[in-house]
Structure 1
Amino acid sequence: MLNLRQLEILRAVVQFRTTVGAAEQLGMSQPSISNTIRHVETVLGFPLFERQSNRLVPTEETLILLEESEPLFMLRDAVNQRAADLRMGRIGRVRIASTAEISEAVLPRVIAGYARQYPQIQISLETRPLESVLQVVENGLADVAFFISAYDRQALDFQPVAELRAVCICPTDSPLARLDSVTPRDLDGQPLVGPRLANRVGMMIADSFHECGMDYRPSIETRFMNAASRIVGEGWGVAVVDELSAHVALRPGLTVRPFQSKLRFNLVAATLKTKTLSRQTRRFIKAFSDQVTTQLDEMHAASLP
């Protein structure tokens, strides 16, 4: 019923709240914008905007429509970027999606090294929540995604990269710092920072607490484990996180202790089953895996007595 240009006009009017602003943004006349809105309203059979003090306020139906159409704009932008790459003579690209833990702990070094070795390859990185990371790979908007603790998605292939240990990060003057390892019972009464129960990692940590008959109740909830580590680094509380996030946040005044439980975090690379991986994507996954192995070896060696 609607074409992409009409959706683009609606999107611009929502952004600028006036037909004049939308017209300037799109290089069209104001009457053309108004006529398009009226035409779309006629086709759809419901109003798209309400006028309030010379401003056009989108109806709830308009916002829902644009939310559903956002993947179309993302795909258009990806096609346009590809055309620009070909015009500029770039011979390849790698589009990466990742959760925040991996974007902070591993990917900066991998991307910088890859760019130095292959300067002609265009690299892009999207940092998103886990569900969104999975979706952009499924929609073909990312070539590969890296994240912790995947769950089954029929459209995706999961390639194991590493098993990450769970650790407790805490101040060096905390009683926990004197323990060889920390259990959920040791954390009873401690100010805890950690992933919220609403996400997968938070549920995994909660399960490890429940196995010891304890409740997992973080005083400060985060979406990502690296954020929890950073809060502890700023002088508040303790956190149970993956070992990569803990060591990235480690600084004088903090220490890391093993978390004694069955809890492990699987670091994986996800790709689309129906799409043949490009040479650049395969090469990047290999570089990522090698970097993770190097970092873990260095961390484990440093922790030996």
Structure 2
Amino acid sequence: MEILRAVVTYRTTVGAAERLGMSQPSISNTIRHIETVLGFPLFERVSNRLSPTEEALILLEEAEPLFHLRDAVNQRAGDLRGGKIGRIRIAATAELSESVLPRVIADYARDYPRIQLSLETRPLDSVLQVVENGVADVAFAMSPYERQAMNYEQIADLRPVCLLQDSDPLAKLDVITAKDLMGAALIGPQVSTRIGLMLADSFRAQGLEYRPSIETRFMNAAVRIVRDGWGVALVDELSAHTELRPGLVIRPYGSGQSFDLCAAMQKTKVPSRQTRRFIEMFRERVALRLEEVRAESQRPIA
């Protein structure tokens, strides 16, 4: 698979041989052997270059998790060789990577300076996949889909809120409903996301259609648009408070919903002491932050 990947990347056996430190005949012989075993061609020669067939590309796509695992093993070996005590590989969606995790990572690094931390910011499905494949030790996400190979540990319930200009007529309301948002310049999560589906359900329950004027994949993007002077963002309370400043207010969204903030781990793998310690620190910091933001929600902004 390594040879196949190199030939697909460089489109010549010479380039693949240089990359892998092998001879060009060895590369060619290996490709011919693989094609014989598989019973179908992997490359077509086009203008002295090798063009991969659709079958070759499908094989590489299926093998990609194996390369991730190899890289993870190599990285761990490097950590041990460098004398590091441990490492925590964290994955999270963009909202959490900007709202809570930076503070937790900074505090953890200060308390445990010999533990190496890494953070991968990805869409929800990819965040869960890297944990499922063993590339990350823990993922943090909101309202994740159930996966057979995953364990979810609840951290907190996050409330949906609206972030808007204090001059907006909706700012006079104590609670904003789906009906209030009809006709508003709404910015919200795409329906293709889990949070977007939940919000669409809240509109549907009132006999209304969820149709944001601007859709975003990540809620931190929605609140930045409001920060820059346009619209009403329908997001989680932590994301909203990352951009709260004079001229903006936050109002509860009256759907009765909440978003589960979870830590996701492999079901068959016991988390390390370092990972367990990080999760508990994350839980504590989230609880403290929620106390702060909920106290601030009804406080006027100078």
The TM-score with structure 2 as length reference comes to 0.93
Q: 1:302 aligns with which of 285, 296, 300?
A: 296
From the superposition, tell whether residues 23 and 168 of structure 1 become closer, same or farther in structure 2 (CA, over 3 Å).
same
The answer as to 2:53 corresponding to 1:24 is: no
Cα deviation code 1:129-164 (max 9, x no counterpart): 222222222222222111001233333222111111
| Rounded Cα–Cα distance in structure 1 between residues aligned with 2:166 and 2:54 | 52
- State the partner residue of 1:44: 38
- State the partner residue of 1:278: 272
The answer to whether the 8 A contact 2:69-2:135 is kept is yes
> Runs of 4 or more off by more than 4 Å in structure 1?
none
3-state SS in 1 of match to 2:91: strand
Code of the residue aligned with 2:118 in structure 1: it is S
Following superposition, the deviation at residue 278 of structure 1 comes to: 1.1
Code of the residue aligned with 2:176 in structure 1: it is V
Code of the residue aligned with 1:41 in structure 2: it is E
- State the partner residue of 1:63: 57
The answer as to 2:184 corresponding to 1:187 is: no
The TM-score with structure 1 as length reference comes to 0.92
Gaps of 5+ in 1: 1-6
Cα deviation code 1:261-301 (max 9, x no counterpart): 11211101122222222110110001111111121111122
| Rounded Cα–Cα distance in structure 2 between residues aligned with 1:143 and 1:131 | 16
User: RMSD in angstroms over aligned alpha carbons?
Assistant: 1.7
Code of the residue aligned with 1:299 in structure 2: it is V
3-state SS in 1 of match to 2:229: coil
Following superposition, the deviation at residue 37 of structure 1 comes to: 1.9
- State the partner residue of 1:102: 96
Following superposition, the deviation at residue 72 of structure 1 comes to: 0.6
The answer as to 2:104 corresponding to 1:74 is: no
- State the partner residue of 2:233: 239
Q: 2:253 aligns with which of 244, 259, 264?
A: 259
- State the partner residue of 2:136: 142
Code of the residue aligned with 1:285 in structure 2: it is I
Following superposition, the deviation at residue 54 of structure 1 comes to: 3.1
Cα deviation code 1:3-52 (max 9, x no counterpart): xxxx1111122222222322222222233222222222222122212233
Q: 1:226 aligns with which of 209, 220, 227?
A: 220
Following superposition, the deviation at residue 245 of structure 1 comes to: 0.8
| Rounded Cα–Cα distance in structure 2 between residues aligned with 1:179 and 1:198 | 29
Q: 1:133 aligns with which of 120, 123, 127?
A: 127
| Rounded Cα–Cα distance in structure 2 between residues aligned with 1:244 and 1:289 | 14
| Rounded Cα–Cα distance in structure 2 between residues aligned with 1:245 and 1:168 | 10
- State the partner residue of 1:9: 3
Following superposition, the deviation at residue 234 of structure 1 comes to: 3.0
| Rounded Cα–Cα distance in structure 1 between residues aligned with 2:27 and 2:213 | 50
Q: 1:292 aligns with which of 286, 293, 296?
A: 286
Please give the residue correspondences for 1:147-226 in structure 2 after superposition, counting only pairs within 5 Å: 147-226=141-220
The answer to whether the 8 A contact 2:188-2:216 is kept is yes
3-state SS in 2 of match to 1:41: helix
| Rounded Cα–Cα distance in structure 2 between residues aligned with 1:144 and 1:178 | 41
| Rounded Cα–Cα distance in structure 2 between residues aligned with 1:202 and 1:97 | 21
Aligned residues with identical type, % of pairs: 68
